[in-house]
Every structure is written in structure tokens, then in C-alpha cells.
Amino acid sequence: MPDLIEKNAPAQAVASAEPKPEKPRSLGLDAWHDLRKRPVFIISAALIVLLIAFAIAPSLFTSVDPRAGDLRLHYLTKPNYLHFFQADWFGYDGQGRSIYARMIYGARASVVVGICVTAGVTVLGGLAGMIAGYYGGWVDTIISRVTDMFFGIPLLLGALVVLNAFTTRTVWSVVFALVALGWTQMTRVMRGSVITVKQADYVTAARALGAGTARIMFKHILPNAIAPVIVVATIALGGYIATEATLSFLGIGLQDPTISWGIDINSAQKVIRTAPFALFFPAGMLSVTVLAFIMLGDAVRDALDPKLR
């Protein structure tokens, strides 16, 4: 057989003679380039950025105090849709507070709950799933059965029970309740993903080199197993926001004086026939927010799924 390595040399010379080799792209960077071109991603990301801006600095968008009520204004003062960004743009609620201002200020509770719950379940559930998937055997059996038990608790019923234990409920008690009940979903996704990645040859190769458990887990398995968890987490984020609003609506989530769309929806539903706008704006905002996160999750999944590339 002729020495074919020698024949390879000219090809390399050509490759290195290229004007300026393109900056190497990691898979993550590839996904980002792909994502940037998707309209769904652009729209949902813009909405989410706006929402986060509401949450961080609501006073930039309205100078009205959302807690200051003037009972004379009440529901009967109709909204003036031409008064852009003014207190009466979307009218006033039952206590004469500006609906527009409350819509802006309500974003904070939703965003904090959404992000904190997602971070909590991803860390907690991800860790549990990683340990279960990596070690297998009886460790896996115990973690999986505990997961099954928690999975069997209906979210709303469970949250009702947990939140009733708190005398004063803040954003953090809602976060606690949702993390305590929601981590199982991430555990299952992570466990399945880790089991798949664990069998890859590059993990075996790392073991053959003498790599320790920590290196294998965090340099080889985690970066390759995290993608489905990110996707599920992004989609679930919208769900957590909706759940917070549901709990607040039912009166077991956030309480006044915390401003939440759920509370506002609850107080507005009694006057739906006389003042439908009082219900429409917080509910619409909630729907748009949930939709934005779900669309973002969808776009991220499409970008990260290697089978579509």
C-alpha cells in the first residue's frame, strides 16, 4: 500500500492557505447563530426583555404609584385609550388604582417567581437526576421512587397545602412551594439524558484516561446532557408564572400589598360585566408572558436539536 499520509499533505497546504480561517464555532454558538434568524425567537425574546425591564425598573414606564388609590375614580371611570402611558390609559380598578401602573408593577412578582422557581427546580432536579442517572443501581431506584411519589401530588393541591402552612405569604413562600413540587420533572429529564450520554464512547475514553468522577460528570456528561433540561426549563418557566397567577387568583398565593396579575384578575372578575377592561389587561399581560416563554422554549429546542441540523 502506498503511503497515503504523504498524499494528504497538499490538501493541508491548501487548507492552511485559505485567507483567514473562520472562527471555530462550538455547538452552542451554532445554535445561537441559528436562533438569531428565527422570527419566533426574536419576537419572544423582545417580549421577555421588555418584561424583565418592567420587573427591574417599573418606574421607567409609569410615574404613577400602583398602590395609591382614589376611590372616586373606581371602575366606573372608563379608560382613556388615547392617554398613552398615563394613569388612566387602561382605567382604574375597584380601589381607584391605575390598572396600567399595576400591570407594569405586576411583572416583578411573575418574573421573580418564574425565574427563581425555574432556577430552583433546574438545580435541585438536575442534580438529583444527574446522580440517579450516573450512579444507577439502588441510588437510582431510591431517587426515582421518591420522584414518582412527588410526581403523584397534584401541583395545585400540593401548593394549597404547603402555602396554607405560611401565615404571611411572600414571593419566596410561593417559590418554595413550587420548587418543592416541581423538581421532579427536571429530575426525570436529566436522568434520561445522563443515561444516554453516559454510554457515549467519549465518556469511556475519559475513563480510560483515568479521569475522576467529577471531571467525567461536569466536563463530559453535564455539557452534553443539559440541552433537553434547558428546553424543558424554558417552557416550564411560563407554566410557573401561570401557576403563581392561579394561586394568587385563588387567594392562596401572593397577598396584598404585593402586586400580582393573579390578584388583580381575582378582584376584576367580580365586575367583569361593568368593567371588562379591569380583567382584560392583567389577564392579557399574563397570557402574553406565558406565551412568550413557551415560544422561546420552542425556538431553543429547535436550535439545540442536533437531528434537525
Partner 1 sequence: MAEPILEVRDLVKHYPLTQGILFKKQVGAVKAVDGVSFTLDKGETLGIVGESGCGKSTLAKVLMNLERATAGQVLYKGEDISRLSGPALKAVRRNIQMVFQDPYTSLNPRMTVGDIIGEPFEIHPEVAPKGDRRRAVQDLLDVVGLNPEYINRYPHQFSGGQRQRIGIARGLALKPEIIICDEPVSALDVSVQAQVINLLEKLQTEFELSYMFIAHDLSIVRHISDRVGVMYLGKLVEIGTDAEIYDHATHPYTQALLSAVPVPDPTGREGRERIILSGDIPSPANPPSGCRFRTRCWKAEERCSTEVPLLAVPEVLSGGARHDSACHFAAEREVAAAS
* Contacting positions for partner 1 (CB under 8 A): 1, 3-5, 8, 12, 15-16, 21, 24-28, 200-202, 204-212, 215, 219-220, 223-224
Q: CB-wise, 146 or 200, nearer to partner 1? A: 200
Tell the smallest beta-carbon distance from residue 183 to partner 1 (Å). 25
Q: CB-wise, 165 or 201, nearer to partner 1? A: 201
Q: CB-wise, 13 or 82, nearer to partner 1? A: 13
Tell the smallest beta-carbon distance from residue 7 to partner 1 (Å). 8
Q: Which candidate, 114, 99, 98, places its Cα nearest to that of 52?
A: 114
Q: CB-wise, 26 or 167, nearer to partner 1? A: 26
Q: Annotate 122-183 with DSSP letters as a single string.
A: HHHHHHHHHHHHHH-HHHHHHHHHHHHHHHTS-HHHHHHHHHHT-SS--HHHHHHHHHHHHH
Tell the smallest beta-carbon distance from residue 232 to partner 1 (Å). 19
Tell the smallest beta-carbon distance from residue 195 to partner 1 (Å). 15
Question: What is residue 92's three-state secondary structure?
Answer: strand
Q: CB-wise, 36 or 219, nearer to partner 1? A: 219
Tell the smallest beta-carbon distance from residue 24 to partner 1 (Å). 4
> In this structure, what are the phi and psi dihedrals at residue 222, rounded to the nearest 5 degrees?
-55, -50
How many other CB atoms are there within 10 angstroms of residue 209's CB atom? 9
Question: What is residue 63's three-state secondary structure?
Answer: coil
Dig out the grid coordinates for 69 from the structure: 388609590
Q: CB-wise, 115 or 200, nearer to partner 1? A: 200
C-beta contacts of 258-263 below 8 A and 24+ residues apart: 258/109, 258/170, 258/171, 259/66, 259/67, 259/102, 259/105, 259/106, 259/108, 259/109, 260/106, 260/109, 260/110, 261/103, 261/106, 261/109, 261/110, 261/285, 261/286, 262/286
Nearest-angstrom CA–CA distance, 264 and 266: 5
Dig out the grid coordinates for 22 from the structure: 473562520
Q: CB-wise, 207 or 301, nearer to partner 1? A: 207
Tell the smallest beta-carbon distance from residue 21 to partner 1 (Å). 7
Tell the smallest beta-carbon distance from residue 14 to partner 1 (Å). 10
